[in-house]
A and B are shown apart, each in its own frame.
Chain A
Amino acid sequence: MRACVITAMFVLASAPASSWLAFAQTAEQSEAAKDQKAVSLKDLTGIWAVRAPTGVPWYNYALTADEPPMTPWAEAKFKTNKPSFGPNPQEFPNDLAYGCFPPGVPRVYAAVQAAMQIVQVPGRVIMFFGRNVRQVYTDGRQHPQNLKPLWMGHSTGKWEGETFVIDTIGISDRTWLDRMGHPHSDALHLVERFRRDSQDRLDLDMTIDDPKAYTKAWTAQRTFRLRPPTSELGEAVCEDMFINEAFGLKPMLPSTK
Chain B
Amino acid sequence: MRNRLIGSIFSLATVLASYLVLQAQTGRQPGTANVQNAAPQTDLSGVWILHPPSGSSAFSNFAFNEEGPPMTPWAEAKYRIAKPVFGPNKKPVKDSNDPVYGCFPPGVPRIYLHRRPMEIIQLSNEVIMMFEYARLVRHIYTDGRPHDKFLDPPLWMGDSIGKWEGDTLVVDVIGFNDKTWLDRIGHPHSDALHVVERIRRVDHGTLEDDITIDDPKAYKKPWTIQSTFELQPGVGIDWEAVCEDQRLQDRQ
Contact = CB atoms under 8 A, between A and B. Distances in A.
B137 interface: yes
B236 interface: yes
A102 interface: yes
A78 interface: no
Contacts of B157: 235
A229 B33 contact: yes
Contacts of A232: 139, 141, 148
A35 interface: yes
Interface stretch (B95-103, B192-200, B210-218): B95-103
Contact of B30 (A3, A99, A150, A240): A3
Contacts of B145: 2, 230
A61 B2 CA distance: 74
Interface string B229-252: 000000011011010110110010
B101 A252 contact: yes
A100 B102 CA distance: 11
Interface stretch (A8-16, A160-168, A202-210, A243-251): A243-251
Contact of B150 (A2, A99, A121): A2
A241 to B, nearest CB: 11
A253 B130 CA distance: 24
B179 A253 contact: yes
B57 to A, nearest CB: 28
A1 interface: yes
Nearest to A234: B155
Interface in B129-161: 130, 135-137, 139, 141, 143, 145, 148-150, 153, 155-157
B54 interface: no
B105 A152 contact: no
Contacts of A256: 81
Interface stretch (B15-23, B110-118, B120-128): B120-128
Interface string A103-124: 0000000000000000101000
Contacts of B247: 248-249
Q: From DSSP, what is the main secondary structure of chain B's interface residues?
A: loop
B123 to A, nearest CB: 7
Interface string A126-140: 101001111100000
B32 interface: yes
A228 interface: yes
B104 interface: yes
B69 to A, nearest CB: 19
Contacts of B98: 254
A99 B155 contact: no
Nearest to A231: B31
Contacts of A197: none
A252 B32 CA distance: 40
B242 to A, nearest CB: 6
B34 interface: yes
Contacts of B104: 237, 239-240, 252-253
A249 B248 contact: yes
Contact of B32 (A101, A126, A230, A249): A230
Interface in B44-59: 45
A233 interface: yes
A28 B123 contact: no
Contacts of A99: 244
Contacts of B155: 235
A125 B45 CA distance: 15
Contacts of A35: 31-33
B31 A28 contact: yes
Counting chain B CB atoms within 10 Å of each CB, the highest count among A3, A131, A228, A252 belongs to A252
Given A2-B30, A252-B101, A253-B179, A102 B242 contact: yes
Given A1-B30, A128-B137, A229-B143, A133 B244 contact: no
B249 to A, nearest CB: 11
A121 B153 CA distance: 32
13 contacts: A2-B150, A31-B31, A45-B123, A128-B137, A229-B143, A233-B137, A235-B156, A239-B103, A240-B153, A248-B248, A248-B251, A249-B248, A253-B104
Pairs A-B, 6 closest by C-beta atoms: A252-B102, A31-B31, A255-B97, A228-B31, A235-B155, A254-B99
